[in-house]
């Protein structure tokens, strides 16, 4: 099969070129660094670029390969990391100008895993301040530009820069985090794959936290296969993140290509489909026909636990209270220096009582157990990732009320999965009439990443939505 432009090739395709001698890791890295340099002035995906470090790692990867030390398929492949992941010697700003000198003493556990696999870090991507928004707007470092529009449209958040970097062909993979939808929302709005993992699968040690209860590490890529490859290397127990201890790893690659035949899929009705753009509804519903043609059983269920999850956490009780606790220093001592939208939302966590917080945590646990029983005969759920496509920044960032209304709408379908601790993968399933990406969200039960990745891979083998790329000729001009 003929490969497309280098900057839009998958990890699998790039790895093949590195191994057969068509491309060295250094040449590949130089090519993508050049693309980052060309585009990022317009797209603002990166908070920090590190070309010297990247080339140093890439040359070391080539030397290792020449000496017969092949570390596997990720060896020599460039990537980017959301600016929440600690990288030794580099600042972790977490989207705030107050933390721009917050240099990390060591690599986060995830960065260590990717370094061991031979991957090449090109830089750190922009995020919403303290990762506390699903829209992607940052008033300190600027809002990344959704590559599907010449005018400034939101990229989704909070892992905004990572989604833009992958969608624009700057890197084949980028790391993100997801607490209420921060991987899946930008993946949907920017037309990439976005994998949200179950809390406990991947260590969060060395990742700037928002919520110790809901934070999870995620992956942006161009294909489900690429997401699975990276996930395979990231999972595992780490004593520095106790929630991962005692959980065995699983080999998602062994079942990835088993096809959709025999899978029991269901459209989760009720709240997921309320007030959804008609074009999104039509595109996501069509996915059911694709899966049926692939041999899956597709039904519909009234998943009432979804509505309960949405109503359980009004105002984001868990995130707001834990986010305030973790960022209390900045909120109390530097309130006027913070992004006003983020500061005014997060400071409300101060007023949440211990009783309200603990009751929400307890109720969430009970709800998760009931959801598991309801889905006993279902392998995965199909829902729209977001109810609406990306909109212009100017339409949303007008006042606090408008911002908050849009934020709640974009996060509605994804935050339900965080409360239930589902894993989920968002993948492109169509485009609106105006050319904006539409995302299908495949939800899996906790710790069943193997199922959602298998379903997502089967869907992508039968469709080509994920192969479409934005027209960036406007951004490529000086």
pLDDT digits (tens, 9 = 90+) for 245-262: 999 999 999 999 999 999
Looking at residue 121, its pLDDT comes to 98
Looking at residue 108, its pLDDT comes to 98
Looking at residue 387, its pLDDT comes to 98
Task: Work out the mean pLDDT of the chain and round it to a whole number.
Answer: 96
Choose between 327 and 1: higher pLDDT: 327
Question: Which pLDDT band holds residue 145 (cuts at 50, 70, 90)?
Answer: very high
* Catalytic entry in 82, 124, 196, 445: 82
In the block, residue with structure tokens 């395979």 = 232
Closest by CA position to 413, among listed 272, 303, 267, 273: 272
For residue 185, pLDDT over 60 is answered with yes
* Catalytic entry in 182, 188, 415, 426: 182
Looking at residue 265, its pLDDT comes to 98
182 is catalytic: yes
For residue 1, pLDDT over 70 is answered with no
For residue 477, pLDDT over 80 is answered with no
Cβ atoms of 265 and 296 within 8 Å: the answer is: yes
Task: State the Cα–Cα distance between residues 380 and 63, nearest whole angstrom.
Answer: 43
Question: Which pLDDT band holds residue 273 (cuts at 50, 70, 90)?
Answer: very high
158 is catalytic: yes
203 is catalytic: no
* Catalytic entry in 96, 133, 158, 188: 158
pLDDT digits (tens, 9 = 90+) for 100-119: 999 999 999 999 999 999 99
Residues in Cβ contact with 238 at an 8 Å cutoff, skipping those fewer than 6 apart: 109, 203, 205, 244, 245
Looking at residue 194, its pLDDT comes to 99
Give the mean pLDDT of 109-134: 98
Number of residues in the chain: 478
pLDDT digits (tens, 9 = 90+) for 34-90: 999 999 999 999 999 999 999 999 999 999 999 999 999 999 999 999 999 999 999
In the block, residue with structure tokens 């996930």 = 231
Looking at residue 167, its pLDDT comes to 98
Closest by CA position to 21, among listed 57, 55, 54, 65: 65
Task: State the Cα–Cα distance between residues 390 and 388, nearest whole angstrom.
Answer: 7
Task: State the Cα–Cα distance between residues 38 and 178, nearest whole angstrom.
Answer: 29
Question: Which pLDDT band holds residue 478 (cuts at 50, 70, 90)?
Answer: low
Looking at residue 4, its pLDDT comes to 82
pLDDT digits (tens, 9 = 90+) for 8-49: 999 999 999 998 989 999 999 999 999 999 999 999 999 999
pTM: 0.98
Task: State the Cα–Cα distance between residues 310 and 179, nearest whole angstrom.
Answer: 14
Structural domain boundaries in the chain:
8-476
pLDDT digits (tens, 9 = 90+) for 223-248: 999 999 999 999 999 999 999 999 99
Task: State the Cα–Cα distance between residues 149 and 14, nearest whole angstrom.
Answer: 27
Architecture of the domain defined by 8-476: Alpha-Beta Complex (3.90)
Looking at residue 3, its pLDDT comes to 79
User: In three state form, how does the secondary structure of the chain look?
Assistant: CCCCCHHHCCHHHHHHHHHCCCCCHHHHHHHHHHHHHHHHHHHCCEEEECHHHHHHHHHHHHHHHHCCCCCCCCCCCEEEEECCECCECCECCCCCHHHCCCEECCCCHHHHHHHHCCCEEEEEECCCHHHCCCCCCCCCCCCCCCCCCCCCECCCCCCHHHHHHHHCCCCCEEEEEECCCCCHHHHHHHCCEEEECCCCCECCCCECCCCCCCCEEEEEECCHHHHHHHHHHHECCCCCCHHHCCCCCCCHHHCCCCCCCCCEEEEECHHHHCCCCHHHHHHHHHHHHHHHHCCCEEEEECCHHHHHHHHHCCCCHHHHHHHHHHCHHHHHHCHHHCCHHHHHHHHHHHHCCHHHHHHHHHHHHHHHHHHHHHCCCCCEEEEECCCCCCCEHHHHCCCHHHHHHHHHHHHHHHHHHHHCCCEEEEEEEEECCCCCEEEEEEEECCCCHHHHHHHHHHHHHHCCHHHCCCCCHHHHCC
Cβ atoms of 395 and 151 within 8 Å: the answer is: no
pLDDT digits (tens, 9 = 90+) for 203-230: 999 999 999 999 999 999 999 999 999 9
């Amino acid at each position: 099969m003929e490969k497309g432009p280098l900057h839009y090739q998958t990890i699998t395709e790039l790895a093949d070129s590195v191994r057969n001698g068509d491309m060295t890791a250094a040449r590949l890295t130089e090519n993508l660094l050049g693309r980052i340099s060309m585009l990022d002035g317009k797209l603002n995906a990166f908070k920090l670029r590190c070309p010297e470090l990247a080339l140093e790692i890439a040359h070391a990867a080539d030397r290792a390969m020449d000496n017969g030390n092949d570390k596997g398929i990720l060896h020599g492949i460039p990537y980017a990391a959301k600016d929440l992941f600690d990288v030794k010697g580099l600042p972790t700003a977490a989207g705030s100008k107050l933390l721009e000198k917050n240099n990390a003493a060591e690599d986060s556990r995830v960065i260590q895993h990717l370094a061991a696999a031979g991957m090449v870090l090109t830089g750190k991507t922009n995020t919403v301040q303290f990762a506390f928004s699903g829209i992607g707007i940052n008033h300190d470092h600027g809002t990344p530009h959704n590559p599907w529009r010449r005018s400034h449209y939101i990229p989704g958040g909070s892992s905004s820069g990572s989604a833009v970097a992958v969608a624009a062909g700057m890197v084949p993979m980028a790391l993100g985090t997801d607490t209420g939808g921060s991987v899946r929302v930008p993946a949907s709005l920017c037309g990439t794959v976005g994998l949200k993992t179950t809390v406990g699968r991947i260590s969060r040690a060395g990742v700037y936290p928002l919520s110790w209860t809901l934070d999870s590490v995620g992956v942006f890529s161009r294909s489900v296969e690429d997401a699975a490859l990276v996930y395979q290397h990231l999972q595992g127990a780490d004593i520095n993140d106790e929630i991962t201890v005692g959980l065995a790893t699983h080999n998602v690659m062994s079942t990835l290509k088993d096809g959709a035949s025999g899978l029991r899929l269901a459209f989760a009705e009720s709240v997921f489909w309320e007030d959804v753009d008609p074009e999104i509804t039509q595109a996501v519903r069509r996915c059911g026909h694709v899966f049926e043609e692939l041999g899956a059983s597709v039904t519909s269920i009234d998943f009432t636990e979804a509505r309960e999850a949405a109503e359980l956490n009004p105002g984001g009780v868990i995130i707001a209270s834990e986010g305030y606790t973790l960022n209390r220093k900045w909120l109390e001592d530097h309130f006027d220096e913070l992004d006003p939208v983020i500061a005014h939302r997060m400071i409300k966590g101060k007023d949440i009582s211990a009783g309200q917080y603990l009751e929400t945590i307890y109720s969430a646990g009970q709800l998760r157990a009931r959801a598991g029983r309801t889905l006993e005969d279902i392998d995965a759920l199909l829902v729209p990732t977001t109810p609406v496509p990306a909109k212009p920044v100017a339409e949303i960032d007008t006042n606090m009320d408008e911002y908050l209304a849009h934020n709640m709408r974009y996060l509605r379908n994804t935050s339900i999965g965080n409360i239930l601790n589902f894993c989920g993968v968002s993948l492109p399933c169509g485009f609106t009439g105006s050319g904006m990406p539409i995302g299908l969200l495949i939800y899996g039960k906790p710790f069943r990443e193997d199922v959602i990745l298998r379903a997502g891979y089967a869907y992508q083998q039968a469709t080509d939505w994920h192969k479409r790329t934005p027209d960036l000729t406007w951004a490529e001009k000086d």
